[in-house]
Structure 1
Amino acid sequence: MKKILVLAVAAFAFCMQLASQSSFFDNYVYQQWTSFGGLSGTTATDIAQTSDGFINIGTYEGLVRFDGVAFSTMRRSKDNGLTFASVRVVVEDSSGNLWIGSNDEGVQLLQPDLNMTFTTQNGLPNNSIRAIVEDKDKNVWVGTAGGVVYMSKSRHLFNPQFEAGTVSKGVISTQLICDRDGRVWLTTENDKGLFVFKDGLFRTIPSMDKFGDYAVTDVCQDRDGNFWVGTDNSGLVKIVNGEAIAVHTGTILDSIPVTAIFQAQDGNVWFGTESGLVVYSEGKFHVCDKAEIQNAKINRIISDREGNIWIATDRNGVGKMTRSRFKMFRTGETSNAIAEGKDGRVWVGTDSGLFCYVDGKQETNALTKYTKDIRIRHVATAQNGDILVSCYRKPGQLRYNQASGKITSWSTDEGLAGNKVRVAIEGSQGELYVGTTTGLSIIHKDGSIKNFKQLDGLENEYVMCLYRDPNDVVWIGTDGGGVYLMRDETLFGWITTNNGLAGNVVFKISQDNMGAYWICSGSGITRCPDYDSSKDVLPEKFEVIRAEQGLGTDSVFQLLQDRAGNVWMTSNYGISSVSSGKLSEVAKGVSDVIVPKYYSKSDGLDSDGPTSTAVSICDRDGMLWFPMVDGVAVYNPVKVRGSQIKPLVCIESLRVDTVEYKDFDKVIELKPGTKRVDIKYTGLSFDAPERILFTHQLTGFDDDFSTPNTERSVSYTNLKPGRYTFMVSAINGDGIMSDKAETMLFLQKPYIWQTEWFWIVCTVFFLATVITIFYLKERAVTLENIRLEGLVKERTKELAVEKEKSDQLLHAILPDKIAKELKDSVRAIGESFADVTMLFSDIVSFTKTSSEHTAAEIVYALNDLFSRFDERAKRMGVEKIKTIGDAYMAGCGLPSLNEDHARIMVEFAKGMYQDLRDYNASAKIKFNIRIGLNRGPVSAGVIGKTKFIYDVWGNTVNVASRMESACSPGGIRVSAAVYERLKDTDIKFSGPIECDIKGKGLMTTYDVIMGEDE
């Protein structure tokens, strides 16, 4: 039976020699942190994830805690209770306590209630700690540079014994593990340094004797119960049922000392060496060729709760292996477009030709050779399986028949609109729609070509994209001209920002499963729902999403829908995804913002991103292909499964003004007058820690939880006195929320005047004071009333006099009728008049004249002249409206009606010239004026409640003003309306004068002919 077992193991070992150099590590993304990334040093001695979710890293600078975003270091300092300066071993026991093995300060046990330190003074054989493990009985074993001890649950130390013939004192421990049977295994730096504690003694493994003076570096038990043993000089050994067998891997494991062994949750066994990393998976060994870790000395390998692999190295800091969400195909060129053929081939158009992939492997064929060094802007598949290739120079547009190998080309030589072809699609009848930078071409099956340019209705000839909808309407997106719609080779519609489009530079057009059209532009995304393109009408509804609604940018290049109902977006920000339902809700206005999931290097997307021309696809297997500036990125949703592990959330600190708290087990009391409360928290999920979102609420302050965001702190100022509960939850990159909110309680204490009893006392005192004051006031009021009665009589007489003066002033500035109404009720008075005549006059060259005299002289002259006009207006029944600088405005027929208003106003205008002559006869400052008249309807009224003005407005007033502007100095210009009213009277007019009136165009006007004495 033993021989059979040996033969089986030997056969297994032979199989192990067939080591594989496959692309195992292509499925992983390696992220590294060193001193340049925030880690305190480049050497990580140990690494462990504790139950609170943090990654704990041992360094020579202390214990480093890492949440995936920020590092914090713990080490000995004044009054912090820590005794270690450097950390060599980190272990969490089953009770959640943390054991820290230092380089030369012994062991410190960190507990919530009491920390404990163990050194040579209380029983350790040496203060340099090399290994710690807890057994099934909750004893803690400590391996040092001078021996091994174990501590009971009561923290008493015991020295375990070694079997006779072995080194028992002064052994330098390197590793301790506890197997599934509760046995403790020990490795030391001594020769034959592999022991298992059994029957009260550390015993060697007899089957290991065949390897001579072997030196063991690490040991690990796999899920099958076998033990993998790493050695310093004998390669890799596997112990199966107590029998040690050399495993020849054909990798660095055969020649380089193994320093760390770990079996992950998926069964893969990871081996760290003094110069690199190896994984055993599905019967094959895979050597890691990632440059960051290729030659690193690995001290420890662990897995976090989400299955990510963490590696502590001696010179390369700490690294994390995460399952890659994307697979990159490097073309070395910018990729512009991707299409899938009917045979499953994937065609990639790049700046240097066409690439073809079959089952993920690159293929060379007639078309890839033909397009070598040609810039390809678009690739598509015809209905019969032909490949359509759009080139950015001659040969222009290509059509490749795979069966015959025939390649047909069209350029300007064959009648194409241009040689720079950006896109081509096939119509329902087999015709090709080809978009170029200089127009659109339709290539018919018989070879004839029909072009559309500016003269044909395509105002913008630069075609960016084409889309044919289920109703055979071709949507033509242009570079700055919006979208054109075409049916049966006829343009019937044009959509721009004037219609509601987000932008006129259109990148891509598509439809979702509900039939809504999505248009990506340089100024946002436009959604056109409920549009029936079978009718030759334009869409009426446009819903726009922009950067401020969560896109992060206005320039979204393409929307791509996958089979799971997600929409993928490409932009200068890279690749992101969001639920199609959420995107539609924001477009409809149901939700305010979206929170896209952005993908980065940590997801395997090691690229500078897509270009604006990039055309991505979802292939027949549901995989997403994205053209990138340096190749192609492929996302396989079947392989990529979102983590179902709920994230953890932790409140890290509470800062109250300048005081910081870190113990949140009790209610924290805030002193009265606290100005600011800062709460810092973090989320623990290492798949994509940069995408963790947080939502929080402060009861008594916030009505609900906040909108999820990436901020890891929140501040509150000037909180009212009371009890508050702060709650925060985390949401990982896959949308999974933490199991429960982390909470913290604090009490804002009040000042004495903010307490209830204080206000009760104040109220009683206030009421007593009020009663006393009321009594005294009543007595004073009685006496005062007697005195005031005398004053009232005297003031009544004075008010009567003042009222008479105010009445006179009111009648002086307002018409009598209006003044009477205003005295009865202070309100805005408005009235419409069907027919009045309005007059405008203006002093000629007043600006020049006023600049030659003092202000006092000008005011005196104007007052003299306008007073003469006022007197004439009063005599003739004309209502002066107002003066505006050197302009004089008056009217007749308002507020009192007058059928002869037109004649009166012409006579008044003539009289104004008589007044002007009288004025100029003796005045120091000579003036000349011009007058304009118009008749028609107006509105008039009093504006203001404290400062009144009677004003008139309407088109009639405006035209009267324009008549004055058109009049010659010394003349009277009237509108046709005035002329028609007075043409049959004795007032004489000139012939019609055509004037270009500002804001009115050509108008017929007339001059009033005045006699010599007028």
Structure 2
Amino acid sequence: MKKILVLAVAAFAFCMQLASQSSFFDNYVYQQWTSFGGLSGTTATDIAQTSDGFINIGTYEGLVRFDGVAFSTMRRSKDNGLTFASVRVVVEDSSGNLWIGSNDEGVQLLQPDLNMTFTTQNGLPNNSIRAIVEDKDKNVWVGTAGGVVYMSKSRHLFNPQFEAGTVSKGVISTQLICDRDGRVWLTTENDKGLFVFKDGLFRTIPSMDKFGDYAVTDVCQDRDGNFWVGTDNSGLVKIVNGEAIAVHTGTILDSIPVTAIFQAQDGNVWFGTESGLVVYSEGKFHVCDKAEIQNAKINRIISDREGNIWIATDRNGVGKMTRSRFKMFRTGETSNAIAEGKDGRVWVGTDSGLFCYVDGKQETNALTKYTKDIRIRHVAAAQNGDILVSCYRKPGQLRYNQASGKITSWSTDEGLAGNKVRVAIEGSKGELYVGTTTGLSIIHKDGSIKNFKQLDGLENEYVMCLYRDPNDVVWIGTDGGGVYLMRDETLFGWITTNNGLAGNVVFKISQDNIGAYWICSGSGITRCPDYDSSKDVLPEKFEVIRSEQGLGTDSVFQLLQDRAGNVWMTSNYGISSVSSGKLSEVAKGVSDVIVPKYYSKSDGLDSDGPTSTAVSICDRDGMLWFPMVDGVAVYNPVKVRGSQIKPLVCIESLRVDTVEYKDFDKVIELKPGTKRVDIKYTGLSFDAPERILFTHQLTGFDDDFSTPNTERSVSYTNLKPGRYTFMVSAINGDGIMSDKAETMLFLQKPYIWQTEWFWIVCTVFFLATVITIFYLKERAVTLENIRLEGLVKERTKELAVEKEKSDQLLHAILPDKIAKELKDSVRAIGESFADVTMLFSDIVSFTKTSSEHTAAEIVYALNDLFSRFDERAKRMGVEKIKTIGDAYMAGCGLPSLNEDHARIMVEFAKGMYQDLRDYNASAKIKFNIRIGLNRGPVSAGVIGKTKFIYDVWGNTVNVASRMESACSPGGIRVSAAVYERLKDTDIKFSGPIECDIKGKGLMTTYDVIMGEDE
């Protein structure tokens, strides 16, 4: 019997313990990181938050730094200056220096300017470090596996002494703390191992002697000045005014060794044990039974700057306790709608019936029993307090009077439009508007029912939602048919995408505090501002917000406004919130995008999310109730206040092409030709690190700060030379921005040709070069004119000699009598041309050349060259007149007229030189020619009856011939008439050349200037 009684008492104690747990730890969310989550191993020996905001974790693999998203490990390597491989203790002193106690490598002090290492060679009693603390005089005390020392500010080591008879030499330290009076407390693994340094000695606590050979595992001073002492074998002890008192908690603290004690900012005292976690809050002890930590050995407990609790464990990695923003009520069923009654009861419609909550506790009543196993799609409260329940099968629509317990139902048997009821609301006259999947029904107070279907103007009978506005207009949202408007039981309007609605599948309709209508659909949100529904007209203005404007989805199920001016949205992505002002600005087009705050498991929202039918509410106390697929989520904006602690921001690295920099105290110089700059940064806020947003700007490149986003790096390519300042700020999950932007300066150095002085020198050099070239060119032209004048005289003389030889040759070939007879028998068929251009070419020194070769060779060579001229003449529309030995005569403008004859003949002349070059490139007999051009009137005709030729004559022909005679070999000489015709074109001429032309006297002529490739 006694044994049974003991078991009953134990069971009762356990139940009380669980009840206590549920009232405290339900308000916390636990998040865990192990080796599977990026942590180096599963054992965390110590944990501390440094002033830069990072969480620093001691592990057997080194020091791990954590920003809430990513881990980075520091440990000894070849060239990083670190001397530790494993970390057992992590402490930041008052100067911001980091002290690392290693497992067997002494202590390393990490400072911005110089790192220092202390080992047994420097005076440590042992290289295995177990505890470190800084006292009020800035001395640093180090507890090791072989004793305790302290270092002065000058880093000299001293050995403190123990009270006589208390310990033997070489104690194994386990903990060091400095209390508010500046005294240093020490715990050791020895029996009676609790000491306080006073009057130059470590002394025991006499009041602890009552516990016999006690073993102390940790000690912590609370805000009241009392000391909590954890023991290995005597439970929990509290020292008040020097008197040690045993504390019986009724929890695992009474039987399991305490390994860590910490008092948080809110006054709660957290106890870590070898098998779980306990919290002392408001005079009660609460045991944590969260699965991740239930049996964990806890090495250290701390609080970060935002009040989150961090726990370092021996086998379960690192955990974070964050106050939950949501409280979950598990129903085990999908919740569809929530309503608050006039008496404060909260009614929840689920797929298996109706649930009722009173002050957060579930209540069973007549209505919950009646609706058991019935799928409830909507719940609402009538003006008189009755509860309206919409069922998705018979009994259809219910009305429950709480005072009498009477339940009235309507189905198709009573004339309802359908038994699958989606929604019901009360009209201003007490009538009920009931939306079903097969039409709308109006149930009057006398029990009569009026239905609206397709024949009654309701083209789409599937009613999704109903909303009655202040002007007694009922808005009817349908599944694919848009929105219908009804007043006094008469449909007067129909709104669809044709009018500007975002989508025709309408989930919910509501109004904000300024009267604007908000319509949630499967294709976005529609806002109808400035609409007066008292007039039977349709809205004219529609403002649409879709996923690309920041919603993340087009299917928003409901908008719910809280008392703080925030709008809460439910969708397939879960629950999110945004400022109502920001949402309206995006709808109006004032802003481009919104940045909703999404809530997740880390906020206590441990659910798969809401459904499209979910109807959420804001109750009389301002609490928000959200139906979820597995229960109900409740958010209390009064109890859950956003963190007002500003986040910190840190630039972690700068990668320039393949080189990485981590020291940003100085201006970083980028070598010329740098292709890519990658900047990595992070934000330090552990309430919801995944929701931290960043905004950045690179001065000289970006016009303004970027739109906030979650990216933690940015890249720039091909920056122009100059000085740049990179600035980045962080915004935490509650919209609080970091106090100031983190900055980094770097200089993009230029190539020599990218500097201003280089271009100044180049400009000066260029101008000097142009002037020099102009001068040399003018001088060359002058010299060339002098040379040409002499050459003309020489060539004129040579021409006369050659002409005389040609005449002798002609007379030698043709007897005078034959020539005279041929002349006398000429029959002329001729015509006159007012303006043509004639060309004469002549082979230079042809007589001399022909005398050096056989007649066959000369004829072959002349035929080859002149054939090339003939082909070009044909292509360019030039009329070949004749060849006279080595001379070639051609014209343009006859017998067919051509206004551009002068230009064509000049281009033809240039082409003849190209043909000459092509010929000479492979010919055995090399030739050179000269060409003369003139334009003017000519006569032309056919002479003779047999072997007749087409001939041209006149002064123009003669002058052309004289131009050829006056021309230099390899040149083109034209008359003033040709020059005047072409001087304003792109053809270039030399200056005027005065020539004494035989039979004409002194004439002004010009040479055509040809390019190098002509």
Distance apart, 1:631 and its partner CA: 0.6
Distance apart, 1:67 and its partner CA: 0.3
1:969 is matched with 969
User: Contact 1:815–1:895 (CA<8 Å) still a contact in 2?
Assistant: no
User: Contact 1:279–1:287 (CA<8 Å) still a contact in 2?
Assistant: yes
**RMSD over aligned Cα atoms:** 19.1
User: Contact 1:260–1:301 (CA<8 Å) still a contact in 2?
Assistant: yes
Distance apart, 1:859 and its partner CA: 47
Distance apart, 1:424 and its partner CA: 0.5
Distance apart, 1:356 and its partner CA: 0.3
Distance apart, 1:316 and its partner CA: 0.7
Unpaired stretches in structure 1, ≥5 consecutive residues: none
Secondary structure in 1 matching 2:137: coil
Secondary structure in 2 matching 1:719: coil
Secondary structure in 1 matching 2:19: coil
Write the distance in 2 (CA, Å) between the matches of 1:955 and 1:400: 126
Cα distance, 1:921–1:583 mapped onto 2, change above 3 Å: same
Distance apart, 1:812 and its partner CA: 56
Distance apart, 1:775 and its partner CA: 4.0
Cα distance, 1:459–1:273 mapped onto 2, change above 3 Å: same
Cα distance, 1:805–1:150 mapped onto 2, change above 3 Å: farther
Secondary structure in 2 matching 1:18: helix
Write the distance in 1 (CA, Å) between the matches of 2:928 and 2:459: 57
Write the distance in 2 (CA, Å) between the matches of 1:733 and 1:553: 20
Cα distance, 1:962–1:624 mapped onto 2, change above 3 Å: farther
TM-score, normalized by length of structure 2? 0.76
1:158-307 → structure 2 map (5 Å cutoff): 158-307=158-307
User: Contact 1:196–1:203 (CA<8 Å) still a contact in 2?
Assistant: yes
Write the distance in 2 (CA, Å) between the matches of 1:471 and 1:825: 121
User: Contact 2:235–2:246 (CA<8 Å) still a contact in 1?
Assistant: yes
User: Contact 2:796–2:966 (CA<8 Å) still a contact in 1?
Assistant: no
Cα distance, 1:795–1:625 mapped onto 2, change above 3 Å: farther
User: Contact 1:336–1:611 (CA<8 Å) still a contact in 2?
Assistant: yes
Write the distance in 2 (CA, Å) between the matches of 1:844 and 1:441: 115
Distance apart, 1:761 and its partner CA: 1.1
Distance apart, 1:167 and its partner CA: 1.2
Bigger Cα displacement from structure 2, 305-314 vs 966-975:
966-975
Write the distance in 2 (CA, Å) between the matches of 1:961 and 1:470: 108
Cα distance, 1:953–1:766 mapped onto 2, change above 3 Å: closer
Distance apart, 1:774 and its partner CA: 3.5
Distance apart, 1:23 and its partner CA: 1.0
Distance apart, 1:993 and its partner CA: 84
Secondary structure in 2 matching 1:1007: strand
Distance apart, 1:893 and its partner CA: 40
Secondary structure in 2 matching 1:850: helix
Write the distance in 2 (CA, Å) between the matches of 1:809 and 1:536: 117
User: Contact 2:263–2:270 (CA<8 Å) still a contact in 1?
Assistant: yes
Bigger Cα displacement from structure 2, 866-875 vs 270-279:
866-875
Write the distance in 2 (CA, Å) between the matches of 1:850 and 1:493: 108
Bigger Cα displacement from structure 2, 835-844 vs 335-344:
835-844
Cα distance, 1:150–1:919 mapped onto 2, change above 3 Å: closer
User: Contact 2:802–2:847 (CA<8 Å) still a contact in 1?
Assistant: no
Deviations 1:934-959 (A, max 9, x none): 99999999999999999999999999
Distance apart, 1:772 and its partner CA: 2.6
Distance apart, 1:773 and its partner CA: 3.2
Distance apart, 1:235 and its partner CA: 0.2
Write the distance in 1 (CA, Å) between the matches of 2:92 and 2:194: 24
Bigger Cα displacement from structure 2, 764-773 vs 41-50:
764-773
Bigger Cα displacement from structure 2, 850-859 vs 151-160:
850-859
Deviations 1:120-149 (A, max 9, x none): 111111111110000111111111111111
Distance apart, 1:291 and its partner CA: 1.2
Bigger Cα displacement from structure 2, 1-10 vs 883-892:
883-892
Cα distance, 1:715–1:880 mapped onto 2, change above 3 Å: farther
Write the distance in 2 (CA, Å) between the matches of 1:619 and 1:954: 116
Distance apart, 1:799 and its partner CA: 33
1:887-966 → structure 2 map (5 Å cutoff): none
User: Contact 1:16–1:283 (CA<8 Å) still a contact in 2?
Assistant: no
Secondary structure in 2 matching 1:536: coil
User: Contact 2:506–2:522 (CA<8 Å) still a contact in 1?
Assistant: yes
1:32-181 → structure 2 map (5 Å cutoff): 32-181=32-181
Secondary structure in 2 matching 1:532: coil
Cα distance, 1:209–1:986 mapped onto 2, change above 3 Å: closer
Write the distance in 2 (CA, Å) between the matches of 1:739 and 1:462: 53
Deviations 1:802-851 (A, max 9, x none): 99999999999999999999999999999999999999999999999999
User: Contact 1:574–1:599 (CA<8 Å) still a contact in 2?
Assistant: yes
Secondary structure in 2 matching 1:17: helix
Distance apart, 1:770 and its partner CA: 1.7
Write the distance in 2 (CA, Å) between the matches of 1:474 and 1:1000: 111
Distance apart, 1:745 and its partner CA: 0.7
Cα distance, 1:784–1:857 mapped onto 2, change above 3 Å: closer
Cα distance, 1:769–1:350 mapped onto 2, change above 3 Å: same
Cα distance, 1:990–1:661 mapped onto 2, change above 3 Å: closer
User: Contact 1:58–1:86 (CA<8 Å) still a contact in 2?
Assistant: yes
Cα distance, 1:890–1:775 mapped onto 2, change above 3 Å: closer
Write the distance in 1 (CA, Å) between the matches of 2:631 and 2:416: 30
Distance apart, 1:535 and its partner CA: 1.0
Cα distance, 1:243–1:489 mapped onto 2, change above 3 Å: same
User: Contact 1:267–1:281 (CA<8 Å) still a contact in 2?
Assistant: yes
Deviations 1:31-52 (A, max 9, x none): 1111111111111110000000
User: Contact 1:930–1:967 (CA<8 Å) still a contact in 2?
Assistant: yes
User: Contact 1:814–1:950 (CA<8 Å) still a contact in 2?
Assistant: no
Secondary structure in 2 matching 1:860: helix
Write the distance in 1 (CA, Å) between the matches of 2:227 and 2:94: 23
Secondary structure in 2 matching 1:874: helix
Cα distance, 1:642–1:1010 mapped onto 2, change above 3 Å: closer
Cα distance, 1:250–1:918 mapped onto 2, change above 3 Å: closer
User: Contact 1:46–1:299 (CA<8 Å) still a contact in 2?
Assistant: yes
Deviations 1:428-461 (A, max 9, x none): 1111111111111111111111111111111111
User: Contact 1:19–1:284 (CA<8 Å) still a contact in 2?
Assistant: no
Write the distance in 2 (CA, Å) between the matches of 1:496 and 1:954: 92
Deviations 1:297-350 (A, max 9, x none): 110000000111000011111011111111111101110000000000000000
User: Contact 1:814–1:949 (CA<8 Å) still a contact in 2?
Assistant: no
Bigger Cα displacement from structure 2, 845-854 vs 97-106:
845-854
Distance apart, 1:118 and its partner CA: 0.9
User: Contact 2:825–2:944 (CA<8 Å) still a contact in 1?
Assistant: no
Cα distance, 1:456–1:45 mapped onto 2, change above 3 Å: same
Distance apart, 1:611 and its partner CA: 0.6
Write the distance in 2 (CA, Å) between the matches of 1:817 and 1:342: 144
User: Contact 2:795–2:966 (CA<8 Å) still a contact in 1?
Assistant: no
Cα distance, 1:470–1:888 mapped onto 2, change above 3 Å: farther
1:574 is matched with 574
Secondary structure in 2 matching 1:867: helix
Cα distance, 1:901–1:718 mapped onto 2, change above 3 Å: closer
Bigger Cα displacement from structure 2, 858-867 vs 80-89:
858-867
Write the distance in 2 (CA, Å) between the matches of 1:423 and 1:997: 115
Bigger Cα displacement from structure 2, 165-174 vs 312-321:
165-174
Cα distance, 1:82–1:1006 mapped onto 2, change above 3 Å: closer
Distance apart, 1:756 and its partner CA: 1.8
Distance apart, 1:501 and its partner CA: 0.6
Cα distance, 1:1002–1:775 mapped onto 2, change above 3 Å: closer
Write the distance in 2 (CA, Å) between the matches of 1:538 and 1:955: 95
Cα distance, 1:18–1:66 mapped onto 2, change above 3 Å: closer
Write the distance in 2 (CA, Å) between the matches of 1:953 and 1:155: 118
Distance apart, 1:183 and its partner CA: 0.5
Distance apart, 1:472 and its partner CA: 0.8
Number of equivalences: 1014
Bigger Cα displacement from structure 2, 290-299 vs 887-896:
887-896
Cα distance, 1:396–1:251 mapped onto 2, change above 3 Å: same
User: Contact 2:996–2:1003 (CA<8 Å) still a contact in 1?
Assistant: yes
Cα distance, 1:671–1:842 mapped onto 2, change above 3 Å: closer
Cα distance, 1:500–1:853 mapped onto 2, change above 3 Å: farther
Write the distance in 1 (CA, Å) between the matches of 2:830 and 2:806: 22
Cα distance, 1:447–1:224 mapped onto 2, change above 3 Å: same
Q: Percent identity?
A: 100
Secondary structure in 2 matching 1:896: coil
Cα distance, 1:469–1:79 mapped onto 2, change above 3 Å: same
Write the distance in 2 (CA, Å) between the matches of 1:941 and 1:8: 144
Bigger Cα displacement from structure 2, 960-969 vs 934-943:
960-969
Bigger Cα displacement from structure 2, 699-708 vs 958-967:
958-967
Write the distance in 2 (CA, Å) between the matches of 1:929 and 1:775: 31
User: Contact 2:729–2:740 (CA<8 Å) still a contact in 1?
Assistant: yes
Secondary structure in 2 matching 1:991: coil
